[in-house]
Amino acid sequence: MLGELPNDFVTFARSAGFVAADQWPEASIKSLKNSWRGIINQKKAGWSVMLPIFSLLYRMNEEDDAFLSRSGFEGESRLRSVHEQSIRILDLYPKISEGVTKAQKKPKSRFVQIGFGLTSTYKHRSLDRLSVKIDEHTKPISKPSRNILHVPGWSINGAFYDDQV
């Protein structure tokens, strides 16, 4: 389709203006192809691939410069400058800058909903202590003194009472 990224790395390299892309060393082509597969997978996942493609273009230019210095290739190995390559890629593949926008996360301090979100019909009734009747089956529990804290070794009557020893 028009504007879609090609699946083949060499096709992409030629569209960017690299004439001798298929003559680069095999190890370099393999590394660049792996990067290209990663870019294709990112695009399929819906991410914007503009920055990874420009990074790949930079690596391709470095590889092309190394290829020219090692081999006796005659003529121009690439048709365009780096700036022209990036403009051409944006013209050929305008959809590379499109990506999925992440949905905004809901704040973590939202109201907690348990169950189906129904409101409870239970109404807690407070009981008056005097309204409880004590019969022969119930016995009142004597209340301990709640408002006095004792240091170990001390009691209400004082420290180490002689009666207790």
What ranges do the domains of the chain cover? Answer: 9-97
**With contact defined as beta carbons under 8 Å apart, do 117 and 28 qualify?**
no
Name 154's bridge partners. 159
* Residue 78, helix vs strand vs coil: strand
- What digits encode the pLDDT tens for the residues 66-123? 888 887 776 676 777 888 888 888 888 887 777 665 556 666 666 667 677 777 777 7
Name 18's bridge partners. 78
**With contact defined as beta carbons under 8 Å apart, do 57 and 87 qualify?**
no
Whole-number average pLDDT of the chain: 78
Instruction: Determine the pLDDT at residue 127.
Output: 76
Instruction: Determine the pLDDT at residue 35.
Output: 93
pLDDT surpassing 90 at residue 144: no
Calpha distance 16→84 (Å, rounded): 9
Calpha distance 60→57 (Å, rounded): 5
Calpha distance 64→92 (Å, rounded): 21
